[in-house]
Amino acid sequence: MRTEATFPGRWSPLPPPGRLRTLSLATLANTVGLGLWVTGAALYLTRVVGLSPTEVGLGLTIAGLVGLTASVPLGGLADRRDPRTLRAVLQLAQAVVAAAYLLVGSFPLFLLVATLDALLVSGNLAVRAALVAAVGGPEGRVHAFATLRAVANLGVAVGAGLAAFALAADTGWAYRLLLVGNVTTYLVSAALIMRLPSFPPVRRPVRPKPGRVLRDGWFLAVAGASAVLSLHWVALTLVLPLWVVTRTDAPPVTVSAVLLVNTLLTVLLAVRLSRGARHALPAAATMRRAGLVLAAGMLLWAATSAVPTPAAIGLLLVATVIYTVGDLWHAGAGAALAYDLAAPDAIGVYQGVDGLLAGLARAAGPALLTWLILDGGPVGWLVLASLLAVTGLAVPPLTRRALASRAANPSSRGSASGQPISSST
């Protein structure tokens, strides 16, 4: 009997008909809206609302930090409730908050709406992780995660492309239309999610102790290592564009080419590069490779400041291909470790903590990496490359200790042993 873990041998990111396709279509709708909003948000808030760029940056930073606090509580709620229904409800709530941006006319109101939005986004990611685990089952959840990442990149690209029309018009009504489009995609996504079957939690005679994930030191160590590796995302999206325009002879349009290459390769390769990392030990080995490959990408980016224009453009693109392979290995392995080292009856809360640590790293990343690399030059890239390589090398021994700790605690045995607990397909 075919399950959701079946790997179709084709390039399309959409899986065959079934639960995973339904969830993929919901993700596609959601991320088209994300592409619409992210592309036009800064211009809407400054040109239409009248906020200063400093106010926008400060508000989003504060909102993002506060939003991280919702990850663990809502992840825990997904362990006690049906994650399908909970995610649909959160999508509806996000539609309401997205619509509230139409009413923003001052910084305090913007900060309030942005904070509510960040809380819902952070909590929704943890709930989504629990829903992915339920849809994919122990043998298919990493494949499902990779599929959704590929679909998400496609959706954001489509949304960003559509948003270009609003940016070209550059009028208040055009930017408001982007907001309406974002609201609509949340509603479509919620409707598609409700087409999935419900996944009621298994009732247990003994209720799990609250906060136990915070006492699971080896899980926190592995998740923390993955969070450190996630700094590479800040390097790609923030530091590299600034590096290109200030430290290399490459034309600014090269930044668009770099991001396009990354997006296309993610759509095409996310599922294929996740196949070898469904359980903890192979995932740890994949994470080690990811750290080394990402480090190589950083070193190539560093070299672009010392070569003429054609070579700089070529190096930037080659390094981006290498970087993307490491990025996809990190994403697949990180998902596998976060699932497989979690207590079987607390997938949501463990995913919430994993997301919280990654969020903290990404919150600290912009200030840290802009100082390290833009001020430090190639030496800064070398330091970052060393950090990624050493962190990747540390993951396999940390994972073995986490598995040994789990085996010594009978109440936590299950998926961490590398064996399925149950199947939802």
Question: Are 274 and 323 contained in the same domain?
Answer: yes
Helix, strand, coil percent values for the chain (each to nearest 5) = 80, 0, 20
What's 395's domain CATH number? 1.20.1250
pLDDT at 333: 95
pLDDT at 406: 80
Question: Are 79 and 159 contained in the same domain?
Answer: yes
Question: Are 129 and 223 contained in the same domain?
Answer: no
DSSP state of 341: T
Domain assignment of residue 6, yes or no:
no
Question: Are 273 and 333 contained in the same domain?
Answer: yes
Domain assignment of residue 207, yes or no:
no
Boundary-marking domain end, from 134, 163, 193: 193
- Coil, strand or helix at 12: coil
53 burial (CB, 10 Å; 0-12 / 13-18 / 19+) is exposed
Indicate the length of the chain as a whole number.
425
Question: Are 165 and 265 contained in the same domain?
Answer: no
pLDDT at 207: 57
- The answer to whether the beta carbons of residues 67 and 351 sit under 8 Å apart is no
Domain assignment of residue 167, yes or no:
yes
- The answer to whether the beta carbons of residues 270 and 149 sit under 8 Å apart is yes
The answer for 164, left when phi > 0, alpha when psi is -120 to 50, beta otherwise, is: alpha
**What six digits make up the tokens of 332?**
């697949």
What's 68's domain CATH number? 1.20.1250.20
CA distance 9 to 384: 36
HSE on the CB side for 115, CA within 13 Å?
12
Give the total number of structural domains in the chain.
2
- The answer to whether the beta carbons of residues 358 and 227 sit under 8 Å apart is yes
Boundary-marking domain end, from 193, 224, 257: 193
Domain assignment of residue 147, yes or no:
yes
The whole-number mean pLDDT for each consecutive block of 10 residues of the chain, a chain of 425 residues, reads 41 81 95 89 88 85 89 88 94 97 94 94 90 88 89 90 86 92 97 94 60 85 96 90 90 87 91 84 95 98 94 95 96 92 86 91 87 92 97 97 81 41 31
Q: C-alpha 45: how far from its chain's center?
A: 24
Question: Are 221 and 361 contained in the same domain?
Answer: yes
Within 10 angstroms of residue 209's Cβ, the number of other Cβ atoms is 10
Question: Are 387 and 286 contained in the same domain?
Answer: yes
The amino acid that residue 301 corresponds to is W
Which residues, 6 or more positions from 226, have their beta carbon under 8 angstroms from its beta carbon?
287, 330, 333, 334, 337, 338, 354, 357, 358, 395
Question: Are 165 and 289 contained in the same domain?
Answer: no
CA distance 43 to 39: 8
Residue-wise DSSP of 95-124: HHHHHHGGG--SHHHHHHHHHHHHHHHHHH
pLDDT at 245: 86
Domain assignment of residue 52, yes or no:
yes
Boundary-marking domain end, from 139, 161, 193: 193
Domain assignment of residue 10, yes or no:
no
pLDDT at 281: 92
CA distance 143 to 137: 10
pLDDT at 366: 85
- Coil, strand or helix at 362: helix
Per the structure, the complete domain to which residue 340 belongs is given by: 215-417
Nearest in space to 6 (alpha carbons), one of 266, 278, 347: 278
Domain assignment of residue 410, yes or no:
yes
pLDDT at 411: 53
Question: Are 179 and 260 contained in the same domain?
Answer: no
Domain assignment of residue 205, yes or no:
no
